[in-house]
Structures are given as structure tokens and as C-alpha cells.
Amino acid sequence: MRMQMEGGKRYALLLAATDSDYVKKLYGGYFNVFVDALGDEGERWDLFRVVEGHFPEMDELENYEAFVVSGSPYDAYGNEHWILKLCLLLQTLFAMQKKVLGICFGHQVLCRALGGKVGKAYTGWDIGVRKIRILKEFLPCNFLELDEIPPTLSIIECHQDEVWDVPVGAEVIACSDKTRVEMFAFGNHILGIQGHPEYTKDILNNLIDRLLSNDCIERGFGEDVKTQLLMADPDRKYWEKICQRFLKGR
């Protein structure tokens, strides 16, 4: 599946989750959610459903400007065949110095593939809108310039796993009161973001409903998060700017 115009630069979404009925009905699938947030006219975006074993061919990798790895209900430290294959692909892209943006599960599996450690979050689930702090001492990154990006930003979170230790050579570039590694970077070609810059509040609300119906979270906790969402908004425009600047160098 792709959004393309002739002659446009190529980007790949490595989708690690199946589309929910809600997202399919309202947005046409997670692919459209990502392209709406990160894509521009004149670009070609290709979808690879890695969770279903659909990967780009190795001889195609050079044709892409950058890759985005999505969130997932799976554990980034799991040993499912497709996760191990994804780790190998990410190692290959790193060796090629291709730009890779990892989001939530993508952030964690990218860390794992490059030699870091991931596991269950020490403080349990983090769901809602979370304020994170950009760590000035590890700047500059060419995609994080504090004259344009505020030193604190709010982002939608939904995870119970986290990065424990970043790979050797990588830097933690953002943290929060809940999670020590909210973002990490490896040079200017690897970026991990624990939160969801692409999510809207309605997508999170629906996800909370599904977590409640599957008894994954306690009802009181879920209702508290829903109440918080009425009063808090993510800084989506800033997150889109950060991700686009990273992926496209502008």
C-alpha cells in the first residue's frame, strides 16, 4: 500500500500492529494516521506489515530516505520470528546509516536491536498525556533546536514496557517523571520516541476502551485517564515538526 506521486522521495512505514476496527473506520488504517502526521505532497510512502511477516526486500533498502517503526501490542523483548527479523533489518539499516524513527514499540525494539536493554516498566502502565523534558545538555541535535522547540512538550503515551539502557554510543535526549528514557538518539540517523506523536486523543480513548474490555488495566485507572484527557492536549504540531525535521532534514 502506498501514497505516491511520481519522482517523490520514498519512505517506509514498518507497521508492527494490526489495524483496529476504530482506526480502520475513521482513518482507513494506521498507515493513513502516520502519513497524515509525517508525510508531505510529492512523497511516496510504502507500507510493510512486519507484524504479518511482510518486509522490504534487502535490495530495496537503498531506495528509501528513511524508515518509521510503529507501536505494537507485542513486547519488544519477545522472540517471535517477525520481531527477530525486524531486529536484523534494523541492524542492517543502522549499518547503512539510514534514518530510522522508532515510536513506542519501535523505540524499544530499535534500542534492543542496537544493543540496549528493554523490559517491563518499573512503574507500570503509562497512559495519557505526559509532559516530557528535553535534556539540553545532550543537544544540539539538528532536529531539536530549542529556539523553535519548547524545552518541555506534552505527548500521548500508552505503554507498559520501556527502555532500560540505551545502546552504547546513543544519548538519552528526553525524560519524564514516569519514564527515564522518553527519547534517545544515535547520531543524526537514529531517533526513538516512547510516546505517540501520531496519536489523536480519540485514538487513545478507543484504545483505553479496548484495554478495559480485555481486562488489561483496572477500570478506575482507565476512567481517571479518560478524565485527564478532557483537560490535557498533546503538542502534536511540535512533534510533527520534530519527526519531519529528523526524517527529512528540514
pLDDT digits (tens, 9 = 90+) for 196-232: 999 999 999 999 999 999 999 999 999 999 999 999 9
Distance CA 218, CA 137 (A): 38
Give the domains, in start order, of the chain with CATH numbers: 10-248 (3.40.50.880)
- By annotation, the residues acting in catalysis are 104, 196, 198
First to last CA, the chain: 26
Q: What is the pLDDT of residues 53-87, one digit of tens each?
A: 999 999 999 999 999 999 999 999 999 999 999 99
Distances (CA, A) of 134 to 11, 98, 167, 184: 27, 24, 19, 10
Ranges 6-10, 106-110, 150-154: which has the least confidence? 6-10
